[in-house]
Amino acid sequence: MAKKTVIISGAGIGIGHATALAFAGDGYRVYVTDILEEEGNRVAEEIRAGGGEAVFRRLDVTRSEQADAIVAEIDKNHGGVDVVVANAGIAHRVPLAEMTDAKWDLTHEIDLKGVLRLARAAAPRMRERRSGAIVAVSSISGIAYGWAEHVHYSAAKAGILGLVRGLAAELGPDGIRVNGVAPGFIRTAQSLSEEHSMGEAKLAAQVPAVPLRRIGQPDDVADVILFLASNGARYITGQTILVDGGLTIQQG
């Protein structure tokens, strides 16, 4: 079988890094993309050192021309993108009194429109081939939880749910599946940030609220993303799956 190609945004660290390794382990050619060039190159090198195939391309998901160019490269060299994983995101703490239009817009340009830009670029060739899978990374803050001083983030991540459903309805007749994942408390650089998120102590304090009694790891999410892109999920589209250890069932 021909090697399949996946493009992953925000693949230099955290969930994106774990997802790149998961797809490489499943035999995919991995396009590692990020604005973090050192980290992204390191991930691609890690995959190649393990016998896989990977390249790094710098991608600022706020720039449509960059997304278009990388997808065009894949279309030319490999016949098209098989899987898009739209993972790039930011979560900056901004109290409402300090929420400017610019701060609101930046989060939406990255967290929500970044998903659109990759999906829009990949869709034409996917439609020609009548196959493909798109997986977008949302958050429990977009599906079940409010997050004080992060209203722009919560709104953008909620927007991903609607985008997933709309794209799934539009692209489904062409054989393209579109799904999302909504991670809960996952141990990443974002969640460990004292400035913008919980930090180490507060993250650890959430364990009793999680029925599985642990904080998630990036590969817990990556494996679900890989499943959603696989033939095992061939009749699943338009869904956003919570990957939260049971947090949102509100078990006492």
Residues involved in catalysis: 153
Local structure of 9: helix, strand or coil: coil
Buried b (16+ CB within 10 A) or exposed e, 155-189: bbbbbbbebbbebbeebeeeebbbbbbbbbbbbbe
Structural contact between residues 81 and 125, judged by C-beta atoms closer than 8 angstroms? yes
Dist CA 128 CA 148 (whole Å): 44
Length of the chain: 252
Dist CA 174 CA 171 (whole Å): 5
Buried b (16+ CB within 10 A) or exposed e, 22-57: bbbeeebbbbbbbbbeebbbbbbebbeeeebebbbb
Dist CA 158 CA 63 (whole Å): 22
Specify the residue for token string 């009793």.
208
